[in-house]
Amino acid sequence: MERIDGVVGNVHADDELETLRETHEERGSLEWVVLDAENRRRSRFRATTDAGTEVGVIVDKPAVSAGDVLLVDDDRMIAVTFEPRDALAISLPDATSEALEAAVDLGHRVGNQHWDLAVDDGVVYVPLAADRHIVERIVADVVPGSEIRATTVEAELFVTELEDSETDSDGGRRPVPDLEHDHSHHAGGHSHEHGEHDHSHSHHDH
């Protein structure tokens, strides 16, 4: 097992690291540590990269962030990403003064529930850590005429913090903290919807 102490930096906050990430991805020398919700909140964990490298990680902060670089040299890079999350995608009606007022009300209601929320390319995403029927009822009550569907998105869509240290420079996502307290200001270079659902791409956050 390879021991890793500390974090080099984050590809979403460091342009040089992002360039190196792209280079290693092109070369096939980029390795991802894919963390679930439990392990991403630990400062010590063991994991296996998608290339099969076993690592023991110790960081000097409460938790890792999506995009954290654990190791980088001429031969390879190891970086952190999070498991995709099930979510509800809410397509809002065409913008009118009434719809904009309703959207503000929706954000207020979601914030009161301590749900995570992100807006990407005009679609609102709420993770299914929240009860689907409650979300649907609130949305239908606040924004009549909206369309709701289940999907799977990259977890980075909801992680915008770096972690409580960076300011959101994303071009269109406006998240609020979720029930698990991912306090954020945005990470993740793009959002992917998975499975049988649509794919939406948005570049670039940080």
Asked if residue 57 has pLDDT above 60, the reply is: yes
**What does the pLDDT read at residue 131?**
72
pLDDT band at 54 (very low <50, low <70, confident <90, very high): very high
162-184 mean pLDDT: 37
Neighbours of 17 (CB within 10 A): 20
Higher pLDDT, 93 or 53: 53
Architecture of domain 2-82: Sandwich (2.60)
CA distances from 98 to 13, 39, 107, 124 (A): 37, 42, 14, 17
What is the Cα–Cα distance from 205 to 145, expressed in whole angstroms?
Answer: 30
Range(s) of the chain covered by CATH 2.60.260.20: 2-82
**pLDDT tens-digit series, residues 86-96:** 888 888 767 66
**Model's pTM, two decimal places?**
0.59
pLDDT at 182: 38
Q: Distance between CA atoms of 27 and 4, rounded to whole angstroms? A: 22
- pLDDT at position 181 is 36
Query: What rounded mean pLDDT belongs to the chain?
Result: 75
CA dihedral 62, 66, 68, 69 (to 10 degrees): 140
pLDDT of 191 above 80? no
* pLDDT > 90: percent of the chain: 30
CB 145 within 8 A of CB 91: no
Per the rule left: phi > 0, alpha: psi between -120 and 50, beta: everything else, 114 is left
- CA distance to 53, 58, 120, per residue, from 168 (Å): 32, 26, 14
Give whole-number Cα distances, 6 to 17, 88, 95, 104, 192, in Å. Answer: 15, 35, 46, 40, 28
Quote the Cα angle for 61-187-14, to 5°.
Answer: 75
pLDDT at 188 over 60: no
